[in-house]
Amino acid sequence: MQEHNEHQPEAGLALPANQTSMWDTIRYGGTAQQVSPFARDPWEEAHRRMLARHKLWLESLQHEYPSPYAHYKIGVYIRYFNQTKYENYLDYHKKQFLDCIALCPNWEFVGFYVDEGSTPPNMESAPAWCNLLNDCMAGKIDLIITQKVSNVSKKMPEITICARLLAAQRHPIGIYFISEDLFTLASYYQEDLRDIGFLPDQSLEGLPENWAEERGLTDD
| CATH, residue 184 | 3.40.50.1390
Confidence of residue 149 (pLDDT cuts 50, 70, 90): confident
pLDDT at 141: 97
The count of structural domains within the chain is 2
- Max Cα-Cα span within the chain: 80
pLDDT at 193: 59
% the chain with pLDDT above 90: 28
Our CA dihedral for 83, 85, 88, 93, rounded to 10 degrees, sits at -50
**209 CB-near residues (< 8 Å, 6+ apart):** none
The DSSP 8-state label assigned to residue 154 in this structure reads S
pLDDT of 93 > 90? The answer is no
Is residue 201 situated within a structural domain?
Answer: no
Same domain, 101 and 185: yes
Same domain, 82 and 175: yes
Same domain, 81 and 141: yes
Give the whole-angstrom CA distance, residue 107 versus residue 68. 7
pLDDT of 3 > 60? The answer is no
Same domain, 114 and 150: yes
Is residue 116 situated within a structural domain?
Answer: yes
Whole-structure pTM value: 0.63
Same domain, 146 and 176: yes
Is residue 36 situated within a structural domain?
Answer: yes
Is residue 30 situated within a structural domain?
Answer: yes
Q: What is the mean pLDDT of residues 189-199?
A: 58
**64 CB-near residues (< 8 Å, 6+ apart):** 183, 186, 187, 188
Domain hosting 39: range is: 22-60
Query: Can you name the residues that pair with 74 across neighbouring β-strands?
Result: 109, 143
pLDDT at 145: 96
Same domain, 104 and 52: no
Average pLDDT, the chain: 76
